[in-house]
A and B are shown apart, each in its own frame.
Chain A
Amino acid sequence: MRMSRTVDIELTVNGESFAETVEPRLLLSDFLRETLGLTGTHVGCEHGICGACTVRVNGVSARSCLMFAVQADGATVETVESLGTVSSLHRIQEAFRKHHALQCGFCTPGFLMTVKDLLERHPLTTNADIRDGLSGNICRCTGYDHIVKAVRELANERDGVAS
Chain B
Amino acid sequence: MPMNDAAFQPGPSTPVPLSEDDVLVSSRPKYVGKPVQRLEDPRLLTGAGRYVADMVINRMVHVAFLRSDQSHARILAIRTEAARAATGVIGVYTAADFSDIPPVVATSRMRNYHATSNPALAVDKVRYVGEPVAVVVAKSRYLAEDALALIEVDYEPLDAVIEPEAAAASTTALLHDQFGTNVIFERVFQTGEASQVLAAAPLSVKGRFRFHRKSPLFMENRSYLAEYDRGRDLLTLHSSTQIPGIVRDVLSSLLAMPGKVRVVAPDVGGGFGGKGSLYQEEIIVSALARKLGRPVKFVSDRMEDLASSSQGFDELVEAELGFDETGRFLALKADVLGDIGAYSIYPWTAALEPVQVVSFLPGAYKIPNYFGRVRGVATSKAPTGPYRGVGRPTSVFVLERLVDMAAHKLGMDPKDLRHRNLVGADEFPYRIGSGIIWERSGFVECLDRACEVIDYEALRQRQQAARKQGRWLGIGIATYAELTGIGSRISVAPGMPINTGNESATVRIDSTGAVTAIFGVASHGQSLETTLAQIVAEELGVRPQDVEIVHGDSAATAHGTGTYASRSAVIGGGAAILTTRALREKVKRVASHLLEASVEDIETGDGRIFVRGTDHQITFAELARAVYSDMQTLPLDKREKLEASESFDPYLGTTTTATHIALVEIDPETYGVKLQRFVVAEDCGRMINPLVVDGQVHGGVAQGIGAALLEELVFDGQGQLLTASLVDYMVPTAVEVPAIEVSHLESVLPNNPGGFRGMGEGGTIGAPAAVANAIADALAPLGIEIFELPATPERLFRLISAAGAIPGKAGAGFPSGIAQETNAMEE
Contact = CB atoms under 8 A, between A and B. Distances in A.
Contacts of B221: 44
Interface stretch (B8-16, B46-54, B181-189, B336-344): B46-54
A144 to B, nearest CB: 4
Q: Which of A41, A105, A135 has the most CB of B within 10 A?
A: A105
Interface in A72-127: 79-81, 83-87, 89, 93, 96-100, 102-109, 112, 127
A49 B272 CA distance: 20
A90 to B, nearest CB: 8
Q: Which of B47, B525, B697 has the most CB of A within 10 A?
A: B47
Q: Which of A99, A132, A142 has the most CB of B within 10 A?
A: A142
Contact of A89 (B45, B527, B735): B45
A28 interface: no
A138 B220 contact: no
B41 A147 contact: no
A38 interface: yes
Given A23-B142, A44-B302, A138-B726, A103 B699 contact: yes
Contacts of B54: 33, 39
A140 B218 contact: yes
21 contacts: A42-B219, A44-B302, A47-B302, A50-B219, A50-B302, A86-B46, A87-B42, A100-B527, A100-B691, A105-B267, A106-B269, A131-B734, A135-B734, A136-B733, A137-B734, A139-B219, A141-B219, A142-B695, A142-B699, A143-B740, A145-B698
B108 to A, nearest CB: 30
Contact of B695 (A86, A97, A141): A141
A25 B699 contact: no
A100 B87 contact: no
Contacts of A112: 45
Contacts of A105: 40-41, 44-45, 49, 267, 269, 525
Interface string B130-142: 0000000000001
Given A140-B219, A140-B731, A145-B740, A40 B47 contact: yes
A63 B335 CA distance: 47
A46 B694 CA distance: 31
Q: Which of A46, A100, A103, A143 has the most CB of B within 10 A?
A: A143
Contacts of B733: 131, 134-138, 144
Interface in A5-49: 23, 25-26, 33, 37-47, 49
Interface in B701-749: 701-703, 725-727, 731, 733-735, 737, 739-740
Interface in B1-55: 35, 37-38, 40-51, 53-54
A104 B524 contact: yes
A49 to B, nearest CB: 4
Given A134-B733, A141-B219, A145-B694, 18 more contacts: A39-B47, A44-B221, A47-B725, A97-B41, A104-B218, A104-B525, A105-B269, A106-B219, A107-B269, A108-B44, A131-B734, A131-B735, A138-B726, A139-B219, A143-B695, A143-B699, A145-B698, A145-B737
Contact of A86 (B42, B56, B268, B697): B42
Contact of B734 (A2, A109, A147): A147
Interface residues of A, number: 62
Nearest to A103: B525
Interface of B (DSSP majority class): loop
A86 B48 contact: yes
Nearest to A86: B42
B46 A93 contact: yes
Interface in B600-646: none
Interface of A: 2, 23, 25-26, 33, 37-47, 49-50, 52, 79-81, 83-87, 89, 93, 96-100, 102-109, 112, 127, 130-132, 134-148
Q: Which of A37, A41, A84, A106 has the most CB of B within 10 A?
A: A106
B692 interface: yes
Given A42-B269, A45-B726, A140-B217, A102 B47 contact: no
B159 interface: no
Q: Which of B146, B525, B731 has the most CB of A within 10 A?
A: B525
Nearest to B270: A104
Nearest to B88: A2
B737 A144 contact: yes
B726 A106 contact: no
Interface of B: 35, 37-38, 40-51, 53-54, 56, 87, 142-143, 146, 217-221, 267-270, 272, 301-302, 524-527, 691-692, 694-695, 697-703, 725-727, 731, 733-735, 737, 739-740, 763
Contacts of A81: 46-47
Nearest to A105: B44
Interface of A (DSSP majority class): loop
Nearest to B702: A143
Contacts of B698: 142-146
A132 B51 CA distance: 29
A43 B699 CA distance: 21
B701 A98 contact: no
Contacts of B525: 103-105, 141
Contacts of B142: 23, 25-26
Contacts of B217: 140
Nearest to A145: B698
Nearest to A2: B146
B366 to A, nearest CB: 33
A153 to B, nearest CB: 14
Given A33-B54, A42-B220, A104 B268 contact: yes
A148 B694 CA distance: 14
Contacts of A107: 219, 269
Nearest to B524: A104
Contact of A79 (B35, B47, B700): B47
B701 A143 contact: yes
A42 B725 CA distance: 17
B722 to A, nearest CB: 16
A137 to B, nearest CB: 8
Nearest to B305: A45
Nearest to A87: B42
B597 to A, nearest CB: 39
Contacts of B734: 130-132, 134-135, 137, 139, 144, 147-148
A80 B739 contact: no
Contacts of B48: 40, 86
B528 to A, nearest CB: 11
Contacts of B269: 42, 104-107
Contacts of B51: 39, 42, 106
Given A106-B51, A142-B695, A89 B46 contact: yes
Given A81-B46, A103-B525, A127 B735 contact: no
Contacts of A135: 733-735
Contacts of B692: 100
A105 B221 CA distance: 13
Nearest to B301: A46
B731 A138 contact: yes
Q: Which of B49, B272, B734 has the most CB of A within 10 A?
A: B734
A89 B726 contact: no
A161 B56 CA distance: 46
Contacts of B695: 100, 103, 141-143, 146
Nearest to A23: B142
Nearest to A148: B734
A21 to B, nearest CB: 15
Contact of A146 (B270, B694, B701, B727): B694
Contacts of A134: 733-734
Contacts of B46: 40, 80-81, 83-86, 89, 93
Contacts of A147: 734
A108 B302 CA distance: 18
Contacts of A43: 53
